[in-house]
Amino acid sequence: MSTAVKPENRPLRPAATARWNLFEVVLVYVAIYALGVVYSLFVDFLFDRFGEHWSDMAGTKFFVASIVIEAVLLVVALWYVVVIRHHGSLREVGFTGRAWPKQIALGILAGLGIFVVVYAADLVTLWVMGPRQGAQPLVDLVSAARAPRELFFPFLLGSLLVPISEETYFRGFAYPALRDRVGRPVAMILVSLFFALIHLDPWGFPALILAGLALVWLYDRTEAIWPPIIAHAVWNAIVTSLTYLG
């Protein structure tokens, strides 16, 4: 009897085989961040010149556009590095269609679990640090909604674009490069710290670290990017819904 492993049953990739390096991981983030700064300066210029003639929704539209542009540029940059520069495949980042029912189920369950953990961590943080000062822009957008139809953009961003772009970059791109050099446990901690830091939210920092650890563990266990994307989407969808209802 043949003992050959069928292609669809082989691991997505051998351990520690990311084609890209840490310099490219940092370069992609810095490039996207720099473009975001340029976009913000451009929007400020437009508001100074023409803002008095625009509706109150103009700021929301520019914010939504910034998230869309950032997500698209990030995915394109990762595609260029992995596929064009290193002649690889997006399967190496975790975009695999194997076992869809299992991936979806794991993502949903993980998203529910992450929400519970994050909620508990937030309660502890509020008890230690006091009332939250400021909020994430997406939370402000949800809080300003006065009708369910105004949740379209928050759900589009929080439950689709943000999970795809953040999970692809942090778990699918940054984590393998770190894992290759410092091992799994340290890489999981470092990429989760990075994930929490870029949100610039002192009150949410502990919860974001825990969420990041759960998401990167899920990615590492499944060797697929869809479970953490789905988990992130479920988590954000619950937060969006509760923020609106609250």
Question: How many whole angstroms separate alpha carbon 64 and alpha carbon 210?
Answer: 27
Please answer whether residues 223 and 12 qualify as being in contact, where contact means their C-beta atoms are separated by less than 8 angstroms.
Answer: yes
Q: What is the pLDDT of residues 188-202, one digit of tens each?
A: 999 999 999 998 888
Comparing 207 with 8, which gets the higher pLDDT? 207
DSSP state of 157: I
**pTM of the predicted protein model:** 0.87
Please answer whether residues 164 and 78 qualify as being in contact, where contact means their C-beta atoms are separated by less than 8 angstroms.
Answer: no
Q: Can you say whether the dihedral through the CA atoms of 89, 163, 34, 73 is positive or negative?
A: positive
Per-residue confidence band for 15, with pLDDT thresholds at 50, 70 and 90? very low
* Confidence check: pLDDT of 231 > 90: yes
Query: What residues does each domain of the chain span?
Result: 18-245
Kindly give the residue spans of alpha helices, DSSP state H, lying in 51-182. Answer: 58-79, 100-129, 137-143, 152-156, 162-166, 175-182
Mean pLDDT calculated for residue range 79-96: 92
- In whole numbers, what is the pLDDT of the chain averaged over residues? 86
Mean pLDDT calculated for residue range 71-92: 92
Altogether, the residues listed in the chain come to a count of: 246
* Confidence check: pLDDT of 26 > 60: yes
Structure tokens at 108: 């949903």
Per-residue confidence band for 44, with pLDDT thresholds at 50, 70 and 90? confident
Question: How many whole angstroms separate alpha carbon 112 and alpha carbon 235?
Answer: 6
Long-range CB contact pairs, 150-159, < 8 A, 24+: 151/240, 151/244, 153/60, 153/64, 154/240, 155/237, 155/240, 156/64, 157/64, 157/67, 157/68, 158/233, 158/236, 158/237, 158/239, 158/240, 159/233, 159/234, 159/236, 159/237, 159/240
Please answer whether residues 161 and 67 qualify as being in contact, where contact means their C-beta atoms are separated by less than 8 angstroms.
Answer: yes
Per-residue confidence band for 13, with pLDDT thresholds at 50, 70 and 90? very low
Per-residue confidence band for 67, with pLDDT thresholds at 50, 70 and 90? confident
* Confidence check: pLDDT of 6 > 60: no
Mean pLDDT calculated for residue range 221-245: 92
Please answer whether residues 19 and 82 qualify as being in contact, where contact means their C-beta atoms are separated by less than 8 angstroms.
Answer: yes
Please state, in angstroms and as integers, the Cα–Cα distance from residue 70 to each residue in 12, 16, 31, 143, 224, following that order.
Answer: 27, 28, 10, 23, 23
